[in-house]
């Protein structure tokens, strides 16, 4: 597991090229040649993510899955998943976790080596001090966890008929995170509101040419037809005289 912090805003160098900011970090989780019991020949792996926020306990974090307009940075993937604290949703200084629902089953990350990363609903962690008493989360907050919003979710890897984990013995996933304690995946984590995906200059130029050129041709054709009609009317008027 690799954790990266950044001092600038940009896309990460590795697929799925998540957008990071100065207030976010990137976690890259790789499961490489992890042995399984012989009785589990068709194993899949999942990660249980426990999140702690200083929002009131009677509130809940929010999942939001939204479509992006292009797959320029992550070929074949048009969906982004945000998990936000109540403060982040309301626009205050909350935190979020962001990822694309894709994992890779080979070191060469591309569309042919991709599989699904499936997320499930949120549930509250009951008696978090007891459940997490041997975790870094408890070492930091100790008994204060009982007064915090502590929830968990699961992200699993794989899809139907993909040969299970044993086919390649490799799975990787990226997550961006910020100001949320306890994520164990590759996520983007950051302060405030998750960053929005923006078009690159290349995509803007392609869209401009794709839409502007036909519009220009229609405009020029209309002007030519109008000029011809005016010219024909002038010729008819001259002949009638």
- State mean pLDDT over 138-166: 84
pLDDT of residue 73: 67
pLDDT tens digit sequence for 206-220: 667 777 778 878 888
Give dist(CA 185, CA 101) in Å, integer: 12
pLDDT of residue 236: 53
pLDDT tens digit sequence for 6-20: 888 888 888 888 888
> With bands split at pLDDT 50, 70 and 90, how would you rate the model's confidence at 46?
confident
Boundaries of every domain in the chain = 2-198, 201-241
- State mean pLDDT over 120-131: 91
pLDDT of residue 191: 58
pLDDT tens digit sequence for 53-102: 889 999 999 988 888 766 666 676 778 888 999 988 887 678 888 888 88
Q: Is the pLDDT of residue 202 over 70?
A: no
pLDDT of residue 153: 92
Give dist(CA 55, CA 50) in Å, integer: 15
Average pLDDT score, the chain:
77
> With bands split at pLDDT 50, 70 and 90, how would you rate the model's confidence at 185?
very low
Q: Is the pLDDT of residue 176 over 60?
A: no
pLDDT of residue 125: 93
- The answer, as to whether pTM is greater than 0.85, is no
* Closest C-alpha among 195, 11, 214, 238 to residue 96: 195
- State mean pLDDT over 148-158: 90
């Amino acid at each position: 597991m690799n954790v990266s912090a950044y001092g600038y805003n940009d896309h990460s160098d590795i697929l799925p090229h998540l957008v990071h900011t100065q207030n976010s970090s990137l976690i890259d989780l790789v499961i490489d040649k992890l042995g399984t019991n012989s009785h589990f020949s068709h194993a899949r792996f999942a990660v249980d993510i426990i999140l702690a926020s200083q929002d009131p306990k009677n509130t809940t974090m929010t999942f939001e899955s939204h479509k992006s307009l292009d797959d320029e940075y992550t070929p074949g993937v048009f969906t982004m998943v945000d998990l936000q604290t109540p403060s982040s949703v309301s626009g205050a200084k909350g935190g979020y976790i962001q990822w694309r629902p894709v994992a890779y089953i080979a070191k060469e990350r591309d569309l042919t080596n991709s599989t699904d990363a499936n997320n499930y609903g949120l549930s509250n962690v009951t008696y978090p001090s007891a459940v997490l008493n041997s975790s870094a989360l408890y070492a930091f907050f100790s008994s204060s966890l009982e007064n915090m919003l502590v929830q968990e979710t699961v992200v699993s890897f794989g899809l139907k008929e993909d040969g299970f984990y044993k086919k390649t013995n490799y799975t990787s996933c990226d997550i961006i995170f910020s100001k949320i304690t306890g994520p164990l995946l590759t996520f983007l984590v950051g302060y405030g509101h998750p960053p929005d995906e923006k078009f690159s200059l290349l995509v803007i130029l392609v869209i401009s040419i794709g839409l502007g050129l036909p519009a220009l041709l229609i405009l020029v054709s209309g002007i030519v037809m109008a000029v011809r009609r005016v010219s024909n009317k002038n010729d008819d008027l001259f002949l009638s005289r």
